[in-house]
Amino acid sequence: MVENNRVRVRFAPSPTGHLHIGSARTALFNWLFARHNEGDFLLRIEDTDRSRSTLLFEKSIIEQLAWLGLNWDEGPDIGGGYGPYRQSERGELYRAKADDLLRKGLAYNCFCTPDELEESREKQLAAGRPPRYEGTCRDISQAQIERFLAEGRKPTLRFRMPEKKITVSDVLHGEVEFDGSEVGDFIIQRSDGGAGFHFAVVVDDGEMEITHVIRGNDHLPNSVRHVPLFEALGYRAPLFAHFGLIVGEDGAKLSKRHGAVSVFEYREAGYLPEALNNYLALLGWTPPSGEILGLEEVADAFELEKVNKSPVTFERSRLDWFNGRHLRATPPDQVARLAIPFLERAGLPVDDFELVVKAVDAARENSILLVDIPTYARIFLGPFEVQEEAKEELAKGYVPQVLDAFRSLVVATDELDLEGAEGVLASMRESFKPLGIRGRELFHPMRVALTGQNVGPDLIRTIVLLGKDEVFQRLSRSYDLANELLSEESED
C-alpha cells in the first residue's frame, strides 16, 4: 500500500512504434506532476496488442524516455512493488478479475460473431444512429449459452454498462457528464481469453493505486467506460486530467505530413533533450517567469491545474529557437560529447577531445542543431579548403593586398592570443581606412581566407583557435588563390 495522499501517476505507452512527440509530452506532464508533488512516476507497457507490439519498440521507447531524462520509479526494467509492468505478463490477474465480474452479474458472455456485429453496425449507421453494441446477448438464457458452446462458438466477455448518468471528475474540465445508456456494453475479455484494452487499463490503474490519470483529450470519452469499471471492481477512481492535443500549424492532428513526429527522429536531427523538454512543457502550460528552463526548474514551477485543455500548435521554428538557446547555454564539454557522433558521421577526427571541445564551442555560435556543428567545426578539425561559393569573395582586386598585409601583421605579432588577435584586426582596420576599405569589404575576405567559408565563428576566436602557424599557412594559400582567380579573370 502507498502512503495516504501520495501521488502516483503512470505513463503507459503501447510498443507499436517509436515514442511519438505527443506521447513524450504526456510522459513529461506526468513526470513533472509526480516530481512537483514528490510522488511516484511509473512506466507501464501496454502490450496486449500482440500482433503489433514488439520488444524492439519497447526498447526504443525506454531509451528515448531515458534520453529525455524522465526517470521512473517503477517499471519493466527496474521492477517495483506493483509489478509486473507489462500487460502481457498480467493475464492471470485480468482473467481472475473478469471471472469475478461474471460471477457478480456485472459482465456476461457474448456469442455474437464478427459478421453479426458488422451487420448490426451497418443498420445503425443507415438509420443515422451512432453504432454501439445493442445488447443482443445481455439476457440470453442458460440453454442458449449451452447451445452456442455446443456449436463451438467462443464467447467474448462484455461489461454491463450502467444505464445512467456517469460523472467524470476532471482537473481541467471540471465535472463532465456522460449518458451510460448511449455507450453500449463493451468487451473486457476477448474470445481468446486476452484482456480488452479498457479493462486492462482500469485493472492496472486500480491495482497499482494510481491517483491521477493525466492524458490527452482524445482519451476523455474513454473515461465514461473507465469510471463504472473502477466502481464495479471495487477500486477508488483516480482523478483525471485531460489536456489539449498537439496539432500542426494547419490545425490538423500532428502527423508525418507535418515532419518528424517521433522523439527518435528529433534526437537524430540533433535536438537536445533539454530543449525538447523545455518546449514541450510550454506547449499548453505557461511558467510563472522566464522561458528557458531546465527540467528541475519546470518541475518546481509546474501546476497541473494551469495546463491548457485546448489544442496547442507545434511550431518547428519555435523548437529550433529553444534548441539554439540551450545549445549555447550547455557546458562546452557536454555539447562536445553530444556532437561527437555527428562529427564522426561527417568524417571529422575526434581523438583530440580538448580540440574538439574548442571547435564545438566555436561552432555552436552559428548552429541551431547538433547536426549543424560539423559545418563550422570543420574549420578547425578538417583540412583547409576554400568552398566554391566563397571563392568569389577572394576574386576582388584589392584582396591580395589585404591578405598580404594581414599575413605580415601575423608574422610581426609575438603571440596570437586574444590580445594579439585584437591588435592585428585593429591595425588592419586603421591601415585600410584611408583606402576606403572597411567593414564587410575588409573583414569578409579575411574570414574566407581563414575558414574557407562565407559564414563562420567570430573572427578573433577563429584566429586564436587556429594558432599563429595555421593562420599564416591559410593566409598564404588564400593569397595565392586570390591571385590565381584574378589572373583567370584578366585572361577572360
* Residues designated as active site: 256
Partnered with residue 159 across adjacent β-strands are 107, 186
Residues contacting residue 149 through CB under 8 Å, at least 6 positions apart:
155
What is the Cα–Cα distance from 84 to 219, expressed in whole angstroms?
Answer: 24
Cell numbers describing residue 109: 458472455
Residue 448 burial (CB < 10 Å; 0-12/13-18/19+)?
A: buried
Work out the number of other CB atoms within 10 angstroms of the CB of residue 368: 19
| Nearest CA-CA partner of 365 in 439, 462, 268 | 462
What is the Cα–Cα distance from 329 to 149, expressed in whole angstroms?
Answer: 68
What is the Cα–Cα distance from 295 to 383, expressed in whole angstroms?
Answer: 39
Partnered with residue 109 across adjacent β-strands are 157
Task: Report helix, strand or coil for 279.
Answer: helix
What is the Cα–Cα distance from 11 to 37, expressed in whole angstroms?
Answer: 16
Cell numbers describing residue 240: 483525471
- The single residue listed with the C-alpha cell 442458449 is 144
Cell numbers describing residue 356: 574538439
Cell numbers describing residue 433: 581606412
Task: Report helix, strand or coil for 167.
Answer: strand
Partnered with residue 243 across adjacent β-strands are 216
Distance of CA 435 to the CA centre of its chain: 54
Task: Report helix, strand or coil for 207.
Answer: helix
- Give strand ranges (E) for 131-221: 156-159, 165-170, 174-179, 186-189, 212-216
